[in-house]
């Protein structure tokens, strides 16, 4: 496998970053995770716009050339040659001493691994999730400081849950690696305040409206989550995944509902067209 460091493609075993890099020392970096459909990187413009925004929000650099990074991604995906790829782009402030202002030279590391498909039964039957008190460190930044997510995923693994959903001050926020949607009647709800607005989340919101369904972006409590007719989560790499249980409580009939299945079909059609 090959990786790309600051535009140079090297064998993975030869890839090196200084131990003085602030990403390594302090988790001082941002990242995006993408995937391919039909070998083409999906929603790259949207991901790169968010990456550039994260760089600026953390004052890592005054300007950031996302177009150049896009070219590096395409080149690396082609070089590795996998049928489908999971792509991670990480930007750190580089070697900057104890200065957390604009980086002297940012480091951009891109990895394109072979995409591992989930068991089809996950999409057909749904998954169990749990709730956990907490939240992302900074909602609008996809930071490499992932300790809250790591702890949440460890707790989910301990109880055999697929995902952990953050709840802050009684309000449902997001999953450790996903956004959350709740269906009640013919209305779909998804949190907006204090969450990372996922690229796939935004696409699903558009698909909901295209299907003539109503979506409300706003806060809701854990009670609404428990009493939902349907629940599903979204992720750039995993797509749309139905939820059959939350904290051991059955959602609806305990299987993917009709609205979730219709949206999954619309999502599949959309990605299939992009793959042609």
Active site residue 192: no
Token look-up 């952990």 returns 164
Catalytic site residue from 56, 71, 116, 142 = 142
Q: Measured between alpha carbons, how far is 256 from 232 in angstroms, rounded to an integer?
A: 8
* Collapsed DSSP state (helix, strand, coil) of residue 100: coil
Which residues are 88's β-sheet partners?
33, 111
Torsion of CA 126, 128, 131, 132, to 10 degrees: -120
DSSP single-letter state for residue 8: E
Hey, how many other C-beta atoms are within 10 angstroms of the C-beta on 138?
Answer: 14
* Collapsed DSSP state (helix, strand, coil) of residue 255: coil
* Collapsed DSSP state (helix, strand, coil) of residue 103: coil
Catalytic residues: 142
């Amino acid at each position: 496998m090959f990786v790309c460091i600051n535009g140079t493609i090297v064998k993975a075993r030869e890839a090196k970053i200084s131990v003085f890099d602030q990403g390594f020392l302090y988790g001082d970096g941002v990242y995006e995770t993408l995937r391919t459909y039909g070998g083409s990187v999906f929603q790259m413009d949207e991901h790169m716009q968010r990456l550039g925004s994260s760089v600026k929000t953390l004052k890592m650099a005054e300007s950031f050339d996302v177009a150049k990074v896009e070219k590096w991604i395409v080149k690396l995906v082609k070089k590795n040659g996998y049928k489908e790829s999971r792509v991670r782009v990480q930007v750190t402030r580089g070697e900057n001493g104890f200065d957390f202002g604009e980086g002297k030279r940012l480091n951009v590391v891109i990895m394109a691994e072979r995409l591992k498909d989930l068991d089809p039964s996950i999409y057909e039957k749904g998954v169990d999730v749990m709730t956990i008190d907490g939240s992302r460190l900074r909602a609008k930044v996809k930071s490499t400081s992932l300790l809250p997510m790591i702890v949440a995923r460890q707790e989910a693994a301990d109880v055999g849950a697929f995902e952990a959903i953050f709840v802050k001050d009684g309000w449902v926020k997001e999953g450790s690696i996903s956004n959350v949607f709740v269906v009640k009647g013919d209305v779909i709800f998804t949190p907006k305040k204090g969450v990372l607005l996922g690229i796939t989340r935004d696409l699903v919101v558009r698909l909901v409206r295209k299907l003539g369904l109503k979506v409300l972006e706003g806060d809701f409590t854990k009670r609404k989550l428990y009493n939902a007719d349907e629940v599903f989560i979204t992720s750039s790499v995993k797509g749309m995944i139905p939820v059959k249980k939350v904290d051991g409580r059955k959602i609806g009939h305990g299987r993917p509902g009709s609205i979730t299945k219709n949206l999954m079909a619309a999502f599949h059609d959309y990605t299939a067209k992009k793959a042609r």
